[in-house]
Amino acid sequence: MTDQYAVIGNPIGHTKSPLIHGLFAEAMKQDMTYTALVGPLEPVGAFAEVVRAFGVSGGKGMNVTAPFKLEAFAIADERSERASLARAANALKFEDGRIVAENFDGIGLVRDIEVNLGVPLEGQRVLMLGAGGAARGALLPFLAARPAEFVIANRDIAKANALIADAGARGSVRACAYGDLETMGHFELVVNATSASLTGDLPPVPPTVFSPEGTAYELAYGKRLTPFLRLARNAGVRGIADGVGMLVEQAAEAFAWWRGVRPRTRAVIDRLTVPLD
């Protein structure tokens, strides 16, 4: 029987995952289907039922998107370390009646930066804006890339400190307020992991954090030149990118986890890339 996969979210109409996994399946000659499911927002427990029913009916795996990443993590029987730190899952695997949770968002992001954009992070100064779910998912993969310094700026600094405490002492990482950034010089990589761009807002980041030779990365994708990317461009930053590469890379990680073969990503990224201005 053809293996079944799906992405679940609400809303889900915007999702690119069926296209991405369809292209991967074709390229890797995998006998599988990948559909989009609208997850129920209520009543409580309805989401878990839909996920379990998909597994029981022969589903092999699922991607999970907003607003269900935390709930998907909670209902899993087994969880990876990355998912545990993020307290969120973006990929599930159904295995012998059990649900296994993973989170490939962070590793997809770091792969896009290091491999696709050609920006090695080892020994570099990296600044991440935000300490919410997206930042949680990214933290361990970022630290594994061994930056010289990793700074997390957030309006609510206690939230950034809690995130660091949860990750344990793994490298040079610290939290700060946006105001502190004025005196901290520039960073080779600045990542916007806040949800500000979703509402067209700009985190209160001073332009002094950018280095012209550096890179500014926006996690949101398909939103063209967001206020954050515009600020970076105006500060003279040459390397600006949105999260389309991360989206495709996390999909490739999930595909490899499910199918045991890793698809190439370049052509798919090129196909989905929207010019930034």
DSSP string, 87-111: T--SEEEEETTEEEEE--HHHHHHH
Residue whose CB is less far from ligand ATR, 52 or 155:
155
Calpha distance 75→111 (Å, rounded) = 28
Chain CA centroid to CA 45, Å: 25
> CA 174, CA 161: separation in Å to the nearest integer?
7
- Asked whether residue 5 is marked as a ligand-binding residue, the answer is no
Nearest to 231 by CA among 274, 181, 269: 181
Question: Among residues 61, 133, 214, 239, which is the contact residue for ligand ATR, using CB under 6 A?
Answer: 133
Out of 55, 106, 203, 214, the residue judged to bind ligand ATR by CB under 6 A: 203
Instruction: With contacts defined by CB under 6 A, name the span among 109-117, 118-126, 152-160, 234-242 that binds ligand ATR.
Output: 152-160
Contact residues for 131 (Cβ-Cβ < 8 A; gap 6+): 152, 154, 156, 159, 160, 162, 163, 175
**Residues 223/275, Cβ–Cβ less than 8 Å:** no
- Quote the DSSP letter at residue 171: S
Q: Is 166 in the site for ligand ATR (CB under 6 A)?
A: no
Q: How far is the CB of 195 from ligand ATR (least distance, A)?
A: 4
* Residue 250 known to bind ligand: yes
- 95 marked as binding residue: no
Residues 175-194 that bind ligand ATR (CB under 6 A): 194
Q: Which among 69, 93, 159, 223 is annotated as catalytic?
A: 69
Taking the complex as a whole, the smallest distance from the CB of residue 194 to ligand ATR amounts, in Å, to 3
Asked whether position 154 contacts ligand ATR by CB under 6 A, the answer is: yes
Smallest distance from ligand ATR to CB 215, Å: 20
The answer to the question of residue 156 lying near ligand ATR (CB under 6 A) is yes
Part of the chain binding ligand ATR (CB under 6 A), chosen from 35-43, 47-55, 118-126, 133-141: 133-141
Task: Return d(Cα 169, Cα 213) in angstroms, integer.
Answer: 30
- C-beta separation of 239 from 124 below 8 A: no
Toward ligand ATR, which CB reaches closer, 175 or 248? 175
Q: Applying CB under 6 A, which of residues 22, 120, 132, 227 lies at the interface with ligand ATR? A: 132
Interface with ligand ATR, residue 134, by CB under 6 A: yes
**Element at 186 (helix H, strand E):** none
* Those residues with Cβ within 8 angstroms of residue 212's Cβ, 6 or more apart along the chain or in another chain: 235, 236, 237, 238
Asked if 29 is an active-site residue, the reply is no
Q: Which two tokens stand for residue 79?
A: 């969880």
**Which residues are at the interface with ligand ATR (CB under 6 A)?**
130-135, 154-156, 159, 194-196, 201, 203
Annotated binding site for shikimate: 15-17, 65, 90, 105, 221, 250
